[in-house]
Structure 1
Amino acid sequence: MNHNVILTCAVTGAGDTTAKHPGVPVTPKQIAEACIEAAKAGASVAHIHVRDPETGGISHDLAHFREVMERVREADTDIVMNITAGGGGDWIPDANDPTRGGPGSDIQTPAERHAPVAELLPELCTLDCGSLNFGDMVYINPADWLREHARLVQAAGVKPELECFDLGHVWFARQLQEEGLIDGDPLYQLCLGIPWGAEADTETMTTMRNKLPVNANWAAFGIGRHQMPMVAQAMLLGGHARVGLEDNLYLDKGVLASNGQLVEKAASIINHLGGRVMTPAETRAHLKLRHPATGQTMEGDA
């Protein structure tokens, strides 16, 4: 069991959730405020996407990422920042010509995905480790794109969070490490419950965990009603955890949540199991992250 848990809050995501929950952050100001709310509730890390302020839909606008980062960094509440670099992979075949992307498709090159990370240098960024039937669309992430993207992240000196939505993604992430494209102890995020990837259950999480390198740090999350059970399960199996409105909109059945409430509920579970949530400073030291103010890599452990 892991007694010192890094708790990430994924505050907004890019999914079509704004129509279901009016409290999902949309503007850069709202997203930054959600990160600060999560920090005050006890989160170690804030994971961010940005959205089009007018429509609430997907955005990759560097200016939006910059505004979020600046607002959070200027606040008096510390939190480790994790920028998504996994956008721009959505493929929906056109109904009349399946060789072309139809409405809703959103494809970026590795360099385009990496641009906010290269410019803003967060402590962490995501690196999604494979393609997937993601609900009714296909998430496109060819192996050569991943290698190129891993090189860009490595050159920037940002630690990648290796997001694995299926067992083959863990395999490929290990391959990136073997090829020297991942520096230091790798950080994995096991993403569970997304149709049609890895299921959100104990057997699946255990199997994926057992395939990780011996020097890996890892976390896991489940979506929807699986969110809180997977917090407990990840901790019991030796990992870290993630919650937030990107993955789940509800505090209880029929009760819409805020990011802060989800963090508080997860922290309570961790505390009741005999653990504690690591501070942002402890998280930087544990993962050997580059400090945003000094640029120095933090050393030590919690």
Structure 2
Amino acid sequence: MNNKIIISAALTGVLATRQQCPGIPYTPEEIAKEGKRAIDAGASILHIHARQDNGMPAYDVETYRRIDEEVKKLCPEAIINYSTGAIGISQEERIHQIDALQPDMAALNMGSMNYAIYSAKHKQFYHDHVFANPFKDIQFFLERMNKAGTRPEMECFDTGHIHNARPLIDMGILEPPFQFSLIMGVLGGIPATTQNLVHQVSQLPEGSHWQVIGIGKKQWRMVAAAITMGGNIRVGLEDNLYMPNGDMASSNGDLVKEATTLVRTLGYEPTSVHEAREILKLPVKQD
């Protein structure tokens, strides 16, 4: 039985601000330092969204290039995973950083969904959007990732998103090894429960690699469940701002350290970056 668990760190996202958590990194230098803290604490994969220096989302190639350079200075061996998820920008703006930088991995959103944040206190929705990812867009992004030599990390917010991979496999444009992220706890997607995680994993194509991405404070329960199932895990300030005891995290390194402790408590070991590359069959890219 493989007792190795791959830990990903989602460093910044696009929504959380320093007003919510002072540890959120904005600039390329800050993102790189957070990446180093995460790698030193036991992460192998860094999932990164670009930010402007004022904290607003950035989608331009130059900002991603600055991030790429800074991260590789501090974390030269890290597996880099850039986002392509966004609402309200063009296909080209979502993918051009993958063309230019050819990262190890890139997030590929596998279906459309309602997306919102609901305040029970104010009985009101915030950030209320339809996150549209029709098949034609998924195919477009996948073909560009294939051309760049970048592994698609299929982000699935519900069961139907998993099955959206099957026609792409049949077409031959989605090839093994398959990499799935099972995102749980987003309003509009599947709720974060162990029962739902077991169901999601049962739907995956044979031989798939998978990780759980729990959103919010329930993240730690989902992380524990995934570890006991032999799955991989993602933590980080994009997904959850809080430590298991409820205190706010001061950095991504703190969250990864807690994840590493939990992995070992449950009888597993976090992978090194080299081991993660071997398990996922990711080549070592030469700059």
Query: When the two structures are superposed, what TM-score results if normalisation uses the length of structure 2?
Result: 0.92
Task: Please give the per-residue CA displacement for 1:236-269, whole angstroms capped at 9, x wherever unaligned.
Answer: 2221000000001112324333100000000100
Distance 1:137 1:224, change over 3 A: same
**1:107 aligned counterpart, secondary structure:** coil
Match of 1:134 in 2: 115
Counting only pairs closer than 5 Å after superposition, residues 1-302 of structure 1 correspond to structure 2 as 3-54=3-54, 56-75=55-74, 78-87=77-86, 90=87, 106-109=88-91, 111-135=92-116, 136-251=128-243, 252-293=245-286
What is the rounded CA distance, in whole Å, between the counterparts of 1:230 and 1:162 in structure 2? 18
Distance 1:205 1:76, change over 3 A: closer
Partner amino acid for 1:200? A
CA RMSD of aligned residues (A): 1.5
What is the rounded CA distance, in whole Å, between the counterparts of 1:203 and 1:174 in structure 2? 23
Partner amino acid for 2:73? E
**2:108 aligned counterpart, secondary structure:** strand
Q: 4+ residue stretches of structure 1 with deviation over 4 A?
A: none
Indicate conservation of the 8 Å contact 1:12/1:31, yes or no. Answer: yes
| Structure 1: segments with no counterpart, 5+ residues | 91-105, 295-302
Partner amino acid for 1:149? F
**1:221 aligned counterpart, secondary structure:** strand
The CA deviation at 1:16 is 3.6
Indicate conservation of the 8 Å contact 2:108/2:153, yes or no. Answer: yes
What is the rounded CA distance, in whole Å, between the counterparts of 1:160 and 1:254 in structure 2? 34
**1:46 aligned counterpart, secondary structure:** strand
What is the rounded CA distance, in whole Å, between the counterparts of 2:75 and 2:171 in structure 1? 40
The CA deviation at 1:112 is 2.5
Indicate conservation of the 8 Å contact 1:16/1:57, yes or no. Answer: no
Indicate conservation of the 8 Å contact 2:158/2:190, yes or no. Answer: yes
**1:255 aligned counterpart, secondary structure:** coil
Indicate conservation of the 8 Å contact 2:39/2:75, yes or no. Answer: no
The CA deviation at 1:2 is 5.6
**2:40 aligned counterpart, secondary structure:** helix
What is the rounded CA distance, in whole Å, between the counterparts of 2:79 and 2:285 in structure 1? 9
| Structure 2: segments with no counterpart, 5+ residues | 117-127
Task: Please give the per-residue CA displacement for 1:38-78, whole angstroms capped at 9, x wherever unaligned.
Answer: 11111010000011212x12110211111111112122663
Query: When the two structures are superposed, what TM-score results if normalisation uses the length of structure 1?
Result: 0.87
What is the rounded CA distance, in whole Å, between the counterparts of 1:144 and 1:260 in structure 2? 38
**1:182 aligned counterpart, secondary structure:** coil
**Across the two proteins, how many residue pairs are aligned to each other?**
275
Indicate conservation of the 8 Å contact 1:7/1:44, yes or no. Answer: yes
Compare 147-156 and 249-258 and name the one that shifted more. 249-258
Indicate conservation of the 8 Å contact 1:158/1:290, yes or no. Answer: no
What is the rounded CA distance, in whole Å, between the counterparts of 2:20 and 2:37 in structure 1? 21
Partner amino acid for 2:17? T
Partner amino acid for 1:79? A
What is the rounded CA distance, in whole Å, between the counterparts of 1:62 and 1:76 in structure 2? 20
Distance 1:250 1:76, change over 3 A: closer
Distance 1:201 1:291, change over 3 A: same
Match of 2:124 in 1: none
What is the rounded CA distance, in whole Å, between the counterparts of 1:293 and 1:238 in structure 2? 31
